[in-house]
Structure 1
């Protein structure tokens, strides 16, 4: 039964009543919602998850029900919580009806939104915090890690990261330990495996 449940987590969208949706006012006239789920006893800290694309693959909230999206990080959220982590799926701010762009992912507005979420987690002792980004979400996670205090943001994890946007000086500004995981056959044209090794060299921490 446990094996079947885990397979179900990975292969299909999952309606789940356990997590709660939190909405914060992060900037003037702008709000940001995120999904927070945590185990009964926090053992390993909190994972702040940044999905790829335009960010619409994280979750949907309707009629009191949460539907996890099809993005890799959204699908494994229940697995992460089961293994002792609190997990946060970042939504899209109210001033971006079309979702995230690469330009916004490295903006002061985006950083302010993320900092507000980190502050919310700190006040509730949901620390240490680890940033996890997949595909284009890796750009958000890297930018945030480069600017936020290592005292609270302990590490950075990138999975199937886009390589082009991370070829500049940004990775070198990251002080936290960084783990890069890249699939051999990533179908995303902006995240080719043959460029992953070069991406690793850009991170000096």
Structure 2
């Protein structure tokens, strides 16, 4: 049985009407109160008309998007999920881009906090607020190291705090040695067998990032076989890698790891799955 985690409050920073136009391209900045790590900034944006679902977006790397007061990211702008925000909204999805909390905005960003129950609890505080606000399903979408955070939430949360579905793209599935212990963390540090929601796994055939080998998608799927609806997708094509061999640079967003020049294709597939179909 999953352990119920506390639901936390979402505090809306109301914008003056004259600021709405300036904020529209990025999102409305809101603050998520959290018991651990301090408050999270969240950039919430809506499509034209009523959204079909809300996508909570968790970027990779350190997770620190450095959102400004208009909800615009000043960092991680090459991340695949951040690049895909306009495509998600055009397809009828509301988006909630989550920044790293106050205590994790240094050079390491979220680091090892991604696998902690307190991180899952904070995300669990956001889910019911968005579900009640829009009266639609709320999904968590994480890419690269952000997939660790998404798997943490999907596997630990229960009740109203649990997301309605989860999407992991280029998930970090292989750890590594280094001066920082958390570098060894991956989605396999979470109880994937507890995931019961629909689960979409997306990787790229040409991903040369050592932390996200596309062959591991099948292993993740096997570990999360209790999912109500599961699909594994391996994307092909695109411009390929700029690097001759696997390296740290191959884990960047504008590589196959981040579905470079294929954002529209991947976003469309995610939306189809969220709507109940196949990628």
What is the DSSP-based 3-state SS (H/G/I as helix, E as strand, rest coil) of the residue aligned with 1:77? helix
**1:78 counterpart (73, 81, 86):** 86
Q: Distance in 2 between matches of 1:67 and 1:95?
A: 18
TM-score relative to the length of structure 2: 0.61
Q: Which has the higher Rg, Structure 1 or Structure 2?
A: 2
RMSD, matched Cα: 2.2
Greater mean deviation of Cα atoms: 76-85 or 19-28: 19-28
- Residue 28 to residue 138, structure 1, CA distance change in 2 (3 Å): closer
- Name 1:89's counterpart in structure 2: 97
Deviations 1:70-114 (A, max 9, x none): 11000000110011000111101011132111x311212212211
- Confirm or deny that 1:128 pairs with 2:137: yes
Q: Distance in 2 between matches of 1:113 and 1:147?
A: 12
- Confirm or deny that 1:138 pairs with 2:147: yes
- Name 1:155's counterpart in structure 2: 165
- When the two structures are aligned, how many residues end up with a matched partner? 187
Superposition deviation, residue 28 in structure 1? 7.0
Q: Distance in 2 between matches of 1:59 and 1:71?
A: 13
5 Å matches for 1:38-187? Answer: 38-56=46-64, 58=65, 60-61=67-68, 64=70, 66-67=72-73, 69-98=77-106, 99-101=109-111, 103-149=112-158, 153-164=163-174, 165-167=186-188, 170-187=191-208
Superposition deviation, residue 188 in structure 1? 2.0
- Indicate conservation of the 8 Å contact 1:131/1:155, yes or no: yes
Q: Distance in 1 between matches of 2:72 and 2:128?
A: 24
- Residue 138 to residue 150, structure 1, CA distance change in 2 (3 Å): farther
- Indicate conservation of the 8 Å contact 2:43/2:71, yes or no: no
Gaps in structure 1 of 5+ consecutive residues: 1-15
Superposition deviation, residue 120 in structure 1? 2.5
Structure holding more strand per residue: 1
What is the DSSP-based 3-state SS (H/G/I as helix, E as strand, rest coil) of the residue aligned with 2:63? coil
- Name 1:21's counterpart in structure 2: 29
Superposition deviation, residue 59 in structure 1? 5.3
Runs of 4+ aligned structure 1 residues displaced above 6 Å come to: none
Deviations 1:127-169 (A, max 9, x none): 3011111111111101101122366622111111111322356
- Residue 61 to residue 169, structure 1, CA distance change in 2 (3 Å): closer
What is the DSSP-based 3-state SS (H/G/I as helix, E as strand, rest coil) of the residue aligned with 1:27? coil
